[in-house]
Amino acid sequence: MTEDLAAPPRRRTRRDEILDIAVQLFAERGYHGVSMDDIGAAAGVTGPALYHHFAGKEAMLAAALTPVSEQLLAGGQERALEFSGEPAKALAALVSFHVEFALAHPAVIAVHLHELDRLPAEPRREIRRLQRQYVEEWVGVLTKLRPQLAPSEARVLAHAAFGLMNSTPFLGGEVDRDRRAALLCKAALSALS
């Protein structure tokens, strides 16, 4: 038996740290409520020093949102393929994956929900393209599981489930993370079944 050697995790860079700070500020105050100087102050650098890492706020926003869409698509494709002959298991895997992603990245989810339209046309088009592909992974699974559904109806259900699962940034901490994940998974699966 050969040992599966996973690539070591990528070391976080100063750019990554600054991007995380920017995303958190965008989520808390809104894109227009945050200046480059605000981001610099929170990151412990001058606003102009940020331009060594990013061309501006729009570049930060694109750098935050594009990888999220890429990761969601890759994760959705992986789960749909893994359970391609078992649509009920594929749906459960998709829901679990999306819930875990949303719980792990609440600020990015909030920024994505409220600030995507702040991007210039080209990165926004690319993110929308990735999103449509991700939705189609769900549509494929849903129409296998429920053959009576038209693809357009499956899209409606998928988007409704995303709304439910993406509500996590707005949830308080009164319910622990594992229980929140279980509740969100159960609710999403009920809505989709």
What amino acid occupies position 166?
Answer: N
What's the domain count of the chain? 1
In angstroms, what is the C-alpha Rg of the chain? 18
Residue 47 lies in a domain: no
Cα–Cα distance between 103 and 32 in angstroms, integer? 25
Residue 49 lies in a domain: no
Cα–Cα distance between 97 and 88 in angstroms, integer? 14
Q: Supply angle C-alpha 108, 58, 53, rounded to 5.
A: 90
Residue 39 lies in a domain: no
Q: What is the pLDDT of residue 42?
A: 94
Residue 169 lies in a domain: yes
Q: What is the pLDDT of residue 5?
A: 46
Domain that holds residue 142: 57-192
Residue 42 lies in a domain: no
The b/e string for 108-135 (b: 16+ C-beta within 10 A; e otherwise) is bbbbbeebbebbeeebbebbeebbeebb
Altogether, the residues listed in the chain come to a count of 193
The b/e string for 29-38 (b: 16+ C-beta within 10 A; e otherwise) is eebeebebeb
Looking up tokens 């679990």 gives: 96
End-to-end CA distance of the chain: 40
What amino acid occupies position 108?
Answer: V
Contact 58, 118 (CB under 8 A): yes
Tokens (6 digits) for 86: 């078992």
CATH code of the domain in which 175 resides: 1.10.357.10
Residue 23 lies in a domain: no
Going residue by residue through the chain, which has 193 residues, state the pLDDT in tens, using 9 for 90 and above.
Answer: 444 444 556 677 889 999 999 999 999 999 999 999 999 999 998 877 888 899 989 999 999 999 999 999 999 999 999 999 999 999 999 999 999 999 999 899 989 888 999 899 999 999 999 999 999 999 999 999 999 999 999 999 999 999 999 987 667 678 888 999 999 999 999 999 8
Residue 68 lies in a domain: yes
Residue 16 lies in a domain: no
